[in-house]
Amino acid sequence: MNRRCSSTAYPCPISRHLRILECGVRIDETSAGGLANMKASSIYTTVACLLAAFGLWCPAYARHPKMIQVDRSYNERAVTLAVGERVEVSLAENRTTGFRWDLKVKPEPVCTLVESAFEPAPGPPGKGGTHRWQFQAVRAGTGEIELEYRRPWEHDTPPGQTFKLSVRVQKESSTRESTARSE
């Protein structure tokens, strides 16, 4: 392939013998023929830097931790996670009635709350929706998630519903099964 590239000289007097081509190749003009000794090392260095930067950026943003999805049927049960995995609790909620799920007990220090969001159901106003909480396992141990479905202004009345989930976190990944809680 016979491709021509225009060049730009370095403004620095120390590097007056080096020129950068628009196609990204560094040329050492002190060698015989000027263009004869192209430096591939700069290309390798650039590629290595880009791969290193991508490698550092990619794990934080591209990898998604494994997630166990839990609904009302998991009440009074347990889930087992490995460090780094997540559990998502999804419960029906109808805010138009005044009732909301209130997170009473977090599974700290074994898990941290990553996200809490209410998603309204499509359709006319007055329809309920789903409240979702995501917890990420951060260290081995056990913890509890306890939620109460109540109106915020009714402090002296018992909650309309409750939800409890035990969370066991193991250091290494293993078979994650939901098991009935033993009492």
Q: pLDDT (tens digit, 9 = 90+) per residue, 101-124?
A: 999 999 999 999 999 999 999 988
The residues that bridge with 19 in the sheet, in sequence order, are 9, 27
Burial of 109 (0-12, 13-18, 19+ CB in 10 A): exposed
In the predicted structure, residue 181 carries a pLDDT above the cut 50: no
C-alpha pair distances (Å), 145 with each of 47, 48, 100, 120? 47, 45, 16, 23
pTM for this predicted structure: 0.60
Return left, alpha or beta for 105; rule: phi > 0 is left, psi -120 to 50 is alpha, else beta.
beta
Predicted confidence (pLDDT) at residue 38 exceeds the cutoff of 60: no
Residue 49, pLDDT above cutoff 60:
no
pLDDT confidence of 81, banded at 50, 70, 90?
very high
Q: Work out the burial of residue 174: count CB atoms within 10 Å of its CB; fewer than 13 is exposed, 13-18 middle, 19 or more buried.
A: exposed
Determine what percent of the chain is predicted with pLDDT higher than 90. 54
DSSP 2: -
- Identify the residue with better confidence: 79 or 42: 79
Query: CATH 2.60.40.2020 occupies which residues in the chain?
Result: 67-180
Residue 8 pLDDT greater than 80, yes or no? no
Band of residue 133 on the pLDDT scale cut at 50, 70, 90: very high
Is a pLDDT exceeding 80 seen at residue 74?
yes
The pairing of strands 129-137 and 38-39 is unpaired
- What fold characterizes domain 67-180? Immunoglobulin-like (2.60.40)
Q: Is the pLDDT of residue 136 over 90?
A: yes
Number of Cβ within 10 Å of residue 156's Cβ equals 4
CB atoms within 10 A of CB 72: 11
